[in-house]
Amino acid sequence: MLRYSRADLYSEDVPLADIAARVGTPAFVYSSRAILNNYCAYHEAFAELPHTVCYAVKANSSLAVLRLLADAGAGFDIVSGGELFRVLKAGGNPNKVVFSGVGKTAAEVEYALESGIHSFNCESESELALINAMAARRGTTAGFAIRVNPDVDPSTHPYISTGLSEHKFGIPIADAIAVYERSRDLGNLSAEGVSCHIGSQILDPTPILEAVDKVVALAGSLRNAGFPIRHLDLGGGLGVAYRPGEEAPGIREFIQGLRTRLGASGLCIMVEPGRSIVGQAGVLLTRVLYRKKNGDKEFVVVDAAMNDLIRPSLYRAHHEIIPLRRRNLPRITADVVGPICETGDFLARDREIDNVLPGDFLAVCTTGAYGFVLSSNYNSRPRAAEVLVEGDRSRIIRNRESYEDLIRGETI
């Protein structure tokens, strides 16, 4: 959805320079068409197979983004009471919500039961006991899936790899049947499914498929043992291309790969994609403040920083940086850095980019996922505005924070 027309960069049919001028920078801009296309790619590829695409709210939890997906029929994967609150505010259907996460609190479980969510993805026996007790108190039955840890290596950044036995996530797959067996003694639980999520930004889906085979086999054994098991939740994790020439798996091909493995299972298939739905739909707009040279090193100082986009600092992640208006000047090699007082505050290092001048606008690409949601007020910087593009229109979906917003709730 991002393209140049002559010298100007557009999101759908809106010149991004117009948004930067109107809304200011830094600002995140999302293409609604890109988000919906990605959602539909999942939904349509499942075709006749019973399924729910539960968008992983953590990737981008802005209300307008959630509303777009809710209207398209999406379910939601949440990991906190706050995310549930957002989903409900955005008009999401609680009956299509799954609640993941290793540390759900009693208050969060209560809120989820009261809202009537579809199912809990449970990660420990103590969590099962808590959910059972709270469901009993309400006189209801809670649906659950155990998140199993299949011990496969997703080959991704160690911070976002979750499916190895050394990680905190899930219950080892070898122990799962015993845990389901013990759950029979808990009267207010119903074993609705099995879940699994092995990591994020996975560019080769082979390990996901390997995990799926293990989970399907487990679901079969559980059904034979008399558990209801109606769904498999296969998590998220499909990667996107951040660098030019990087190959990311196609959503449709990936789901077709799943279908051939799952078609005969008779189970409803759930997936929890985040990044592959919103990642490429977003850009972060920023303005060049200064150019400077320290010795031989060239710096482009911009008005977005690690508080706006932490992925380069935290994961050494690569985001393409391109101008909103191309100039025909020789390219330069520079560090693109923000105003924050840390050497770790950079958006790119030793990067060949267009020759830009103070006042020029740049787009930091593929920042629709894990961009705004990971932003902070570090250095007392107000958080960025967010804009949604729909065809030839754009609208602000979150105002830029003010200085007053920065101190809201504080007392001296």
Active site positions, annotated: 341
Locate 204 and state its tokens: 């080769």
- The smaller minimum CB distance to ligand LLP, of residues 272 and 303, is found at 272
> With contact defined as beta carbons under 8 Å apart, do 377 and 307 qualify?
yes
> With contact defined as beta carbons under 8 Å apart, do 165 and 172 qualify?
yes
Shortest gap between Cβ of 57 and ligand LLP (angstroms)?
A: 9
- The smaller minimum CB distance to ligand LLP, of residues 193 and 237, is found at 237
Residue 90's CB: how many other CB atoms inside 10 A?
A: 20
331 CA to centre of own chain: 33
> With contact defined as beta carbons under 8 Å apart, do 349 and 356 qualify?
no
**Strand-strand pairing, 332-337 and 297-302:** parallel
- The smaller minimum CB distance to ligand LLP, of residues 214 and 325, is found at 214
Report how far residue 342's alpha carbon sits from residue 86's, in angstroms, rounded to the nearest whole number. 33
Report how far residue 135's alpha carbon sits from residue 284's, in angstroms, rounded to the nearest whole number. 43
Residue ranges that bind ligand LLP, judged by CB under 6 A: 56, 58-59, 77, 100, 160, 197, 200-201, 235-238, 272-276, 311, 315, 369-370
Shortest gap between Cβ of 49 and ligand LLP (angstroms)?
A: 19
- The smaller minimum CB distance to ligand LLP, of residues 32 and 200, is found at 200
337 CA to centre of own chain: 25
Report how far residue 162's alpha carbon sits from residue 147's, in angstroms, rounded to the nearest whole number. 11
Ramachandran sector of residue 350 (left: φ over 0; alpha: ψ -120 to 50; beta: rest)? left
Q: Write out the DSSP string of 145-183.
A: EEEEE------S-GGGB--STTSSSSEEGGGHHHHHHHH
Give the residue from 192, 198, 224, 200 showing the smallest Cα distance to 98. Answer: 192
Give the length of the chain: 412
- The smaller minimum CB distance to ligand LLP, of residues 58 and 230, is found at 58
Q: At what angle do helices 63-71 and 81-89 cross, to 10 degrees?
A: 60
Residue 156's CB: how many other CB atoms inside 10 A?
A: 21
Shortest gap between Cβ of 246 and ligand LLP (angstroms)?
A: 14
Q: Which residue is nearest to ligand LLP (CB)?
A: 236
Shortest gap between Cβ of 358 and ligand LLP (angstroms)?
A: 30
> Measuring CA to CA, how many Å separate 214 from each of 17, 218, 225, 236, 282?
49, 6, 17, 16, 35
- The smaller minimum CB distance to ligand LLP, of residues 100 and 375, is found at 100
Locate 105 and state its tokens: 């609190």
- The smaller minimum CB distance to ligand LLP, of residues 26 and 235, is found at 235
DSSP state of 325: B
Shortest gap between Cβ of 177 and ligand LLP (angstroms)?
A: 22
> With contact defined as beta carbons under 8 Å apart, do 135 and 113 qualify?
yes
Shortest gap between Cβ of 45 and ligand LLP (angstroms)?
A: 15
Locate 269 and state its tokens: 């298939």
Shortest gap between Cβ of 306 and ligand LLP (angstroms)?
A: 13
Shortest gap between Cβ of 279 and ligand LLP (angstroms)?
A: 8
- The smaller minimum CB distance to ligand LLP, of residues 20 and 255, is found at 255
Q: At what angle do helices 176-183 and 125-138 cross, to 10 degrees?
A: 20
